[in-house]
Every structure is written in structure tokens, then in C-alpha cells.
Chains A and B, each alone.
Chain A
């Protein structure tokens, strides 16, 4: 299992982008590339080639769900786990995202001191599943 390094963040709210980037880069020592819209993310995802994608749901224009579906259609990204990070994280909503195929849902407000660790754990868990079958 390779270590988690390259994260892509899709989030329309600039402040949150900043905070999350701070939390992941400064505190979590991860590399983050963030995009303000789904459209933008889709355009750049292949160039950037992230290991994990953090995706907001409520976004103007192309929302998180649509972005997720579009990402999932890209064969290059089949094995890239996508995590929803959203304020819309009520029980039924979480179930909905998971049913779509999100491997995890992080509810907002997130714990910025801990966000990087959280992502690392999810990453690990995801790979146990993979390796266990290999």
C-alpha cells in the first residue's frame, strides 16, 4: 500500500478550501489541490491524478453528486476512493452517498486538527479491503 499523499478537494466555499488545505497540508503534511467547482475538478483531475478525492455536495452548478457520477465514469479513476465532505450529513443522506459508492462521508464542520489523520485511516481501511482480496 502506498502512502496517502495526493488529495484533490472540490469545494465551492473558498474559506473552507483554505481551512481544509491548511489542515491537510500544514498539519497533515499532505499535498492538496483544491477546485471551486465540479466542472473545474473534472477538467483537471486527470492531470493531477489524485490518490483520494474529497468532494463537497452542495455546490452551485454541477453539484457533488453529479461530479461524483462523472468521476466514476472515468476508467482511470476506478480505484480512486471518493469521500464526501458535507454539511448535509444526516443519516439518510449518508446512506444515499454510500449507496452511490462513496467510501466514507465526513460531516461538516470537520475537525480540522484531525482531518488528515481521518483521511489516512480511511485510506488504510480501503486498502485492507483491497489487499485482503489479493
Chain B
């Protein structure tokens, strides 16, 4: 309304409008009245006219009735004449009333009255006359008087009527005029009204709008209030949610009054029902902790006065009497003067978090104490103090056990709050000595778990009651400190209040317990660690090996003193340097070296000198980075010693052999009587000398052998051999020796064709040892039996059986030891060195075999060894599908060199030593190439090749020849049809072999028959592919497009062509094949059109052709092609 009053002109306007409207109304009203009056006069006139006319008609009616009655004498006609007369009189009277206002008319009416009276009277007379005398009556009736009267009356009525009509005319005019005026006036008033209406509408509309706005604002305010209320509720709920349960509440206070609203959860939180905690300030006053009281009120006052923020934490006492911590915040509403009219806010129960924070801060304090303390005592006191201060406990002690003496428990340290009045209790505590299990302390110690005592005053075993009482101590808490499940200490705390056991507190102490335990453990570990570190670093530093740790970039992270010493640097010079400084090229080789257990590498000293090093490289994870640890051993000395040893052996070997050569040589010649015949005595003596010289030579050889095998220095040149020829060779080699002893050697049949991977010479040596032993111990004329047998364990067993005296029991365990012979006299007699079996065992062991013996005294011994059976093709773990090359080379040395080179070039190898073996292998295995020496024991390499070419002319096996002066031989063999790919000179040079490998590969590729099979039926392709097998490689194309692509990609030896293809007819391809001279076999379901026959070798119809026929045709066609090429 304020808005309306602020616009007074509107009131004036409205007043004016209303006055105007009233005026208009009044005028209209007046006019209306006038109009009504006029109208009434008009009506009045019409009434008079109507009445007069009625009167006239009544009189006429009466007259007529009378006349007809007289004529007809029908009495019915005059029966109601009286009624008519009465009606005439009534109407006349009414006219009189109506004409009262008009004197002129009244006067005329008076006259008319008299005339009518006369008339009516006469009527009566007439009727009665007539009833008495008809004729008289008729006479009267037809009298002039009657007529005249009638005329007079009519004239009078007409006079009245005319006059009245005149009046009516006048009155109608007036009415009309009035009506027009009224209309005009009404129009004016309406227009004015309308105008007012429009104006009012505008004004009202405007004001209504204003009002509407006002209402919206008001409504918004109301809504907002609702929302605020809802918010409050929500925030309370949220608070509760946030604090896990009903831990939040709301309060609302009107300052200056005692009126406070506390929400239900506020009260519930403290354990009160709604009624128990009245909505007054006093309730709060009662609940708040005395220590917090003043501070909180100060804050409230400040807030109210200065609007400083009100947010604080305080304690409220719950119904149970326990103080809980709350965080409170509030805000006030203020009036225009800035006075706070309301203050409201929330509180949250933060007891738990307060406790946790408290615990955390205690924990932190303890951790610090643990770190900072230098002794257990110092630490204990600190911890007690921290716990007491943190939890508001009055006193604490730590108890230990006197392990050395009495095993009694004693108080190691104690602390009490300075506020306590005396230290008597503490003093008493310090004096206590109690055994485990006795007294409160002893019992708690024994319990080995935290103990909570609500009130020590009620505890019988508690001896310090009287002193505790003085200090007002009640609750006590004990918790043990463990070290590896053993109680090593006990903490004791006292508090003033009688508090209940508290789960979080127990948990908290568990944590503290762990901390202490860990600390004690750590201290112990630290001690051990320091010692072990010292020990380790002592080892590290005194190590003879250099130990270097490098990071991914090869930078030296750390190294020991020895590293520096080895390379003549100081440690500081090496720090963060690249390892390449010490060992150039190491980083690039690192990955490869890491795979080896140890590897040799050349290091460089500070002065540039080179040192041979042996490296052990291992990777390790260092925090987040990978590091490599390299153990460097300076092997200069070892190298030197090795060399010296080798030299020594060499020298011994040479220096001993040289004189022996002369001795043996001379004796041999003498014994042979080369220089002249000898007497028997001479012969005997010379033979003694010769035998012993021979024995000395064998001894030297054996010593060298065993020394080498045992030191692992012997290189075993492993190759694949059939075992039987080796055995036969060994038998042959010992034949002469056997004859000397008059002993026979026999290889038992049947023998399996086992293949072994061995060093042939070494195996021969082992066999010779065993066979010669058997011979030596065999009785004369007996047979030494040799047997080869395959075992189910994929081993081949070779046994050598003699019928000798057997091996004495006590001697059996020593049989493979050095210089052991059952009978040293026998040794001498039999010329053994005592090393034979040791060497044999060492050899068999090195060949991954086993050696053993079975013996029976006086009936003989059997020595046997077992070797793993190998595959004929030696693929050394390489994939089996590699091509196989047959190396036919009698000299093992050369064969090995070749084998290595071919292996490196991805070939599997078979080594044979003779042409016969080679032929056998070629027949058995599917070899891909041959390399042969020209000189073979049984026939020449060249004749071998010739044989191969004759037996299998169609297949051009790639062949390489090795010979002395090969280059010259090439000249000689030029033009011969042997198709030798390459000649390699002896001694063999690696690069020449590699060249040969290339030639072989090229030839192999050329040898592969490739067939393009154009066919959309994939199953058929598979069938044909299977039928052809390894004879040729089939490349299939399903469409013309694929076929063209394949043709562009590679060369083919043959095309098999289907005609009906998804993208056209195979015929389209024919010209292209023809251009490339590729023979074509058409293999289709349809007849082949003859006009294309010139492009095609043969045409087969699918339904009429068997696979066999097709294969045959393929082979023939390929054969023809080769001939063409060869020709």
C-alpha cells in the first residue's frame, strides 16, 4: 500500500471520476423519471381511451342486446343486462378516477355520467316494459329519445376520446422527446463510464501488477524460509551422516532470553530424552565443562557484539556423566539496528576424532621419543609423560624384570603430573620389588595382556592404596611390552576418575605396544645390522675381487676398494664414471655376457695397461632402478699360472719324451735286430729296457691325459657316430695285444645300430683301456666278449667281459681311483700305469655316460658303460626343419671346423668319415647338400659324387668338394658333368666355406619345384597338396587375379589350372604362362577347348582323372622340363 499512497493524484482522479459518474447517474436518473412520467401519462391516456372505448362498446352491447331481445324476444340476450349495466357504471367510475387530473375531461365526464345514468335507467325501464308489454317496450326502444341519448353518449365519449387522443399525441411527443434526451444522456454517461472504466482498468492493472510483484517477492521469501528450514534439517541430517550417526545437533537461541531450542539429536547425543534436557540456557550451563564455560561464553558475547565468527570446540557432560567433545558453530540474525535477534548453529560430536587426534599426537610423540631417546630409561620416562599428558592421566611408571639377580619386577622409571600434591606415591612405587605372579604388578605381568582396573581402591592386591587415596587415584591401566612374544616391560598408568574400559584406547595401546616392540627389535637389529654391515663391508673391502654396481647408463654407482686397486685408480676417481673407462666395449656386450655364468673381458688400467678379467654379471633391482653388479676378478695371475702350467706340461711332455724317443727308438731298432742279430741274453735285456721305456711313455701320456680331463681342459670334439664301427676299431687296435696274451676278442651279435654323440678318439681311448684291461686279466686262450645293447632308457650299453680272477671285494670301491691296482706286482707284470680306469671313467663321465662293473671272484669281471643314444642328424637343439648337410671328411679336425661353420649358417649336420658311410646316410636320411673331402679312406670323393650323379640323375644334390690344391683341381675337373658347386682349399678358410654355403642355398632354392595351382575349390587344393607331399611346393591361387599376382611375385615350374574360376575363365591366363614358358596342366570339370591346345601340355577332366593320374602327369611334366633345361 505504500506504493499506492505515494501517488495522491490518483485519488483525486478517482474522486472526480466518481463525482462525474454520480452526476451522470443523477441526470440519467432524472431523465429516466421524466421519461417514466411521460410514459405514465401516455399510458394514462391509453387507459382513458381504452376505458372510454370499453364504455362505448358496453353501451353499444347493452343497446344491441336490448334491441335484439326485442326483436327476437330471446330472454337470454338480456339475462346479463344487469351485469353490463354494472360494468358500465364501474367503467365510468374508473374513468372518473382516471380523469380527476383533468377538469375539462371531468366536466365532460360529468355530463357523460348523467347521460349514461339516464341510459341505464332507461335500459331497465325498457326491459321491464317490454316484459310487460312487448310493443310498448319496442316502441320505447325505437323511440327517438333512445336514439338521441345514444348519440349524446357516443358524442360525449368521442369528445372525451378525442380530447384524450389529443393529450396522448402531446404526451407521446413529450415521451419521445424525453426518450431521445434520455438516450443522449445515457450515451454520454455510458461514454463517460466507459472512459472511466478504461482508465480504471489501466490504473488498476498497473497497480495490480505492482501488487503481484510484491506478492511474488513475499512468496519467494516464504519459500526461502521453507528452504532454509529444510536446509537446516538437511544439514542436521548431513551432519549426522558425516559423523556416522546421530552425532550432530542443532540449536537456536534468542539472545537475551533463556529460550534455546535444542534439536532432538542434540539431546540424544548427550543421552537425554527431549524432556530431560529442557530448552533453556540453564541446560547448557549445566552440561558444559567448567574449563570450557568461560571461554565459550566469551566467544558468544563477542559474536553477538562484534559479529566475530563463532566456531569452537567444547566439552558437554553426557547424562552418564562423561564429557564429550563437540565442535560448535553459530550465526546470528540481526535487526535493523544490528542487534542480534536470534542465534543458531550446530554442534558435532567430535569425541572420537578428538580421541584419535589425541592418540595420533601421542603416537607421534612416542615415535619421536623412540627415535630421539638414547636409552631405554630415557625413552620410558618420555613415553609415560607423553601418554599421561595426552590422556590426562596423573601418573605412570614402567616396570622391568631384574633378569640378572632376583627375577623380581621393579619400577624402571616413573612420572607424575606436576600438579599432584606429593610424590610419596611415586617414591613408594620406586621401592617396590615383586616377583612375577605376586601383587598387582606381578599378576598383570603374568597375564601378558593389557589390563584395565576401574578402581584400584577396590583391588585387594594393590598395596599402595593409602598413598593413592591421598592423590585421588582411581582407574589404572596396565599394558605389557613384548619382545618376540616375551614380556619385557609393563607400563602402568593412574587416573583420577573412575573410567570405563574403552575399546579405542585398548587398540591405541596395542599400537603403542607394537611401536615399542618394533623399537626394541629394531635396536637389536640395528646392533646386528651394524655388525653385519661392518662384517660385510669388511668382506667387500677386503675382497680380492672388484665389485662394481652400475646403473642402466653404465655409470658406476659404487665400487669397492679392490676395483680401484685392480685398475690403478682411486675410488673417488671412479665414482659416477662410466664403466667403459675400465672396460671399453662392456656395455654393448653386457646383455650377452649376462647370460653366462662367468665371462672373460679385457680391462684397461689407468696407465693404459691391459688386464684380463673374469666377470660375473648379475642384474639387481635397486629401489626403482635396475642396477647391474659386476664382480671383476683380475685373472692376470691365473692366466700367467695357466700359461705356466700349460708350458710346464708341454715342457715335461717334450723334455721327457725327447730322451725317451731316442731310448725307445734305439731299443726298438735293436730288438728288431735291424742293426744285427742279438744273443738271447741281449734280447732279454733289451726287451726289459724297451718294456719299461714303453711303460714310462704310457705313464707320461696317462698323467697328461687325466690331468687335462680332470681340469676340464680337454676339448671334447663331439660328433655323431654309429657306435659299432668305433668298437670294431678298438677291437682291431687291441687285436695284436690280445694275441700277445693269447686271448681272443669277440663282438657278440646281434648288435644294434646305435648312434652316439661322442669324441671318437676319447671313446676309443676308453674302450682300449677297458679292452686291454680285460685282455690283461683274462686267462690264456679265453675270450674277451664285447656286447652292445640298447636299453629302454635311450642309452646304449657296451660291456666288456673277461673270465679273469675278478676284483677282490676290498678293492672294488677303489677301482676307479688313481694308481690303484689290485696287485702292484700284477701291475708291473701286466705293464699298467694304474691310471687307465680313472681316465676311462673321466672320459665316460664327460660324454654324459655312466661306467660300472660287475665282478665275481675267480669267474671274471664285466665292465660296462652306457652312453645316451643320439639322433643321426645332429641338430643341437636347433629346429629340426633346418636343411641337412652331410659332411664327408675323414679328418675330425676339418670335419669339426666345417660342422661349426654350417651350424652357424643354419644347417643341421651329419658327419661321416668314409664314402660308404656317406652313401648309407644319403640313402637313409633326406639330406639337402653334401660336402666331401676328395681323399676318403675307402674311395675318392670324386668317385663318390660320380656315383651319386649316376644313381639319381634327376636330383641335383648341391655338392661342395674340399681338397688340397683345390684350385688346381678345379681346372682339371672343368667341364665334367659332376655339377660341383664349389671347391674349397685345405687348410680351410672360413670365408670360403661361407661362400660355399651361399652357393648351396642358391642351388637348393633352384632345386625346389614350385607349382602354381589355380583352383577355387580349396578342399581339392589340400588333397593335391597332400598327394604331392614334399616333392614340390604348391602355391595356390583361387582367382585369376590371385594367379596373376603370384606369377608376378615368383617363378613357377608348373601350373595346374582350373578353367572355371570365380572371376573368369582360366583360359585368360594361358598366354601369360606361355610367355613365361611355364608348362600348364589343365585340370577342370569341362572339356578343354581345342583351339587353345598349343598353350597346354595336357588337359585332364576332373571326374575322369584319379589323383594318381594327376600326380604321374605332374611328375612327367616336371621331368620333361628338367631335361629341356639340362639340354
> Known pairs A109-B693, A129-B964. 9 more at Cβ < 8 A?
A18-B662, A19-B661, A22-B674, A87-B654, A98-B893, A101-B986, A109-B660, A113-B668, A129-B963
Whether B668 and A112, one on each chain, are in contact in the complex, defined by CB atoms closer than 8 angstroms, is yes
For the complex, is B657 an interface residue (Cβ under 8 Å from A)? yes
Contacts of B697 in A (CB 8 A): 109
For the complex, is A47 an interface residue (Cβ under 8 Å from B)? no
Q: List 15 A-B contacts (CB under 8 A).
A: A22-B669, A22-B675, A86-B654, A87-B658, A88-B650, A101-B987, A109-B661, A109-B663, A109-B693, A112-B669, A132-B935, A132-B942, A133-B940, A133-B968, A133-B969
Instruction: Kindly identify, within residues 936 to 975 of chain B, every residue whose CB is under 8 Å from any CB belonging to chain A.
Output: 940-943, 963-965, 968-969, 972-973
* Chain B interface residues toward A at CB < 8 A: 650, 653-654, 657-666, 668-669, 671-672, 674-675, 693, 697, 704, 708, 714-715, 717, 761, 891, 893-894, 934-935, 940-943, 963-965, 968-969, 972-973, 986-987
Whether A109 and B657, one on each chain, are in contact in the complex, defined by CB atoms closer than 8 angstroms, is yes
Which residue in A87, A91, A133 is a CB contact (below 8 Å) of B973? A133
- Among B664, B708, B761, B935, the one with the most A-chain Cβ atoms within 10 Å of its Cβ is B935
Contacts of B704 in A (CB 8 A): 90
Instruction: Kindly identify, within residues 68 to 114 of chain A, every residue whose CB is under 8 Å from any CB belonging to chain B.
Output: 78-79, 86-88, 90-92, 94-95, 98-101, 103, 108-113
> Which 5 A-B pairs have CB atoms at the shortest separation, nearest pair first?
A132-B940, A19-B665, A87-B657, A15-B662, A112-B665
Contacts of A15 in B (CB 8 A): 659, 662, 666
Contacts of B965 in A (CB 8 A): 78-79, 130, 133
Q: How long is the Cα–Cα vector from A101 to B963 in the complex, in angstroms? A: 12
For the complex, is A66 an interface residue (Cβ under 8 Å from B)? no
CB distance from A52 to the nearest CB of B (A): 14
* Residue of B whose beta carbon sits closest to that of A87: B657
Which residue in A79, A109, A113 is a CB contact (below 8 Å) of B669? A113
On whether A111 and B668 interact (CB within 8 A), knowing A101-B987, A132-B942, the answer reads: yes
Q: How long is the Cα–Cα vector from A128 to B657 in the complex, in angstroms? A: 33
0/1 string, A42-61, CB within 8 A of B gives 1: 00000000000000001000
Which residue in B663, B934, B972 is a CB contact (below 8 Å) of A129? B934
* Chain A interface residues toward B at CB < 8 A: 13, 15-16, 18-20, 22-23, 26-27, 58, 78-79, 86-88, 90-92, 94-95, 98-101, 103, 108-113, 125, 128-130, 132-134
CB distance from B668 to the nearest CB of A (A): 4
Contacts of A128 in B (CB 8 A): 935, 940
Whether B661 and A110, one on each chain, are in contact in the complex, defined by CB atoms closer than 8 angstroms, is yes
Whether B653 and A88, one on each chain, are in contact in the complex, defined by CB atoms closer than 8 angstroms, is yes
On whether A19 and B653 interact (CB within 8 A), knowing A90-B704, A94-B893, A132-B942, the answer reads: no
* Residue of A whose beta carbon sits closest to that of B969: A133
- Among B654, B668, B891, B942, the one with the most A-chain Cβ atoms within 10 Å of its Cβ is B668
CB distance from A110 to the nearest CB of B (A): 7
Q: How long is the Cα–Cα vector from A18 to B941 in the complex, in angstroms? A: 39
CB distance from A77 to the nearest CB of B (A): 13
Contacts of B666 in A (CB 8 A): 15, 19, 22, 112
On whether A87 and B972 interact (CB within 8 A), knowing A22-B674, A112-B668, the answer reads: no
Contacts of B715 in A (CB 8 A): 91-92
* Residue of B whose beta carbon sits closest to that of A56: B658
Whether A108 and B658, one on each chain, are in contact in the complex, defined by CB atoms closer than 8 angstroms, is yes
CB distance from B645 to the nearest CB of A (A): 13
Contacts of B717 in A (CB 8 A): 91
* Residue of B whose beta carbon sits closest to that of A128: B935
Which residue in B662, B693, B940, B943 is a CB contact (below 8 Å) of A19? B662
CB distance from A109 to the nearest CB of B (A): 4
CB distance from A88 to the nearest CB of B (A): 6
Contacts of B963 in A (CB 8 A): 129, 133
CB distance from A36 to the nearest CB of B (A): 14
CB distance from A78 to the nearest CB of B (A): 8
CB distance from A130 to the nearest CB of B (A): 8
* Residue of A whose beta carbon sits closest to that of B939: A132
Contacts of B761 in A (CB 8 A): 91
Contacts of A98 in B (CB 8 A): 891, 893-894, 987
Whether B972 and A90, one on each chain, are in contact in the complex, defined by CB atoms closer than 8 angstroms, is no
On whether A132 and B669 interact (CB within 8 A), knowing A95-B893, A110-B661, the answer reads: no
On whether A88 and B654 interact (CB within 8 A), knowing A99-B987, A129-B934, A132-B941, the answer reads: yes
* Residue of A whose beta carbon sits closest to that of B759: A91
Q: How long is the Cα–Cα vector from A113 to B694 in the complex, in angstroms? A: 14
